[in-house]
Amino acid sequence: LPLASACAGGGAYLVSPSLRAAADLRVAVLPFDNQSTDISAAEIMRALAAEGFGKRGYQYLPLDEVDGKLSGLGISEGGQLPGLRPAEIGRALGADLLCYGDVEDFTFQNLGFVVRKSVVLRVRMVSASSGETLYEGSGSGKDVKLYFNKDEAKAAFVEQLAVKLVQNLLKIPLKREAEAAAWKALDRLPRR
- 170-189 pLDDT per residue, tens: 567 788 999 999 999 999 99
The HSE-up count of residue 100 (CA atoms within 13 Å, CB side) is 22
Q: Once rounded to an integer, what is the mean pLDDT over residues 53-78? A: 94
Chain segment 102-150, per-residue pLDDT in tens = 999 999 887 778 888 899 999 999 999 999 999 999 999 998 887 777 7
Highest-pLDDT range among 8-12, 20-24, 82-86, 162-166: 82-86
Q: What is the pLDDT of residue 157?
A: 66
DSSP string covering the chain? --EEEEE--B---EE-HHHHH-S--EEEEPPPEE-SS-TTHHHHHHHHHHHHHHHTT-EEPPHHHHHHHHHTTT--SGGGGGGS-HHHHHHHHT-SEEEEEEEEEEEEEE-SSEEEEEEEEEEEEEETTT--EEEEEEEEEEEEEE--SHHHHHHHHHHHHHHHHHHHHTT-TTHHHHHHHHHHHTTTSPP-
The HSE-up count of residue 147 (CA atoms within 13 Å, CB side) is 17
Contact criterion met (CB below 8 Å) for 115 and 109: yes
The residue among 14 and 134 whose pLDDT is bigger is 134
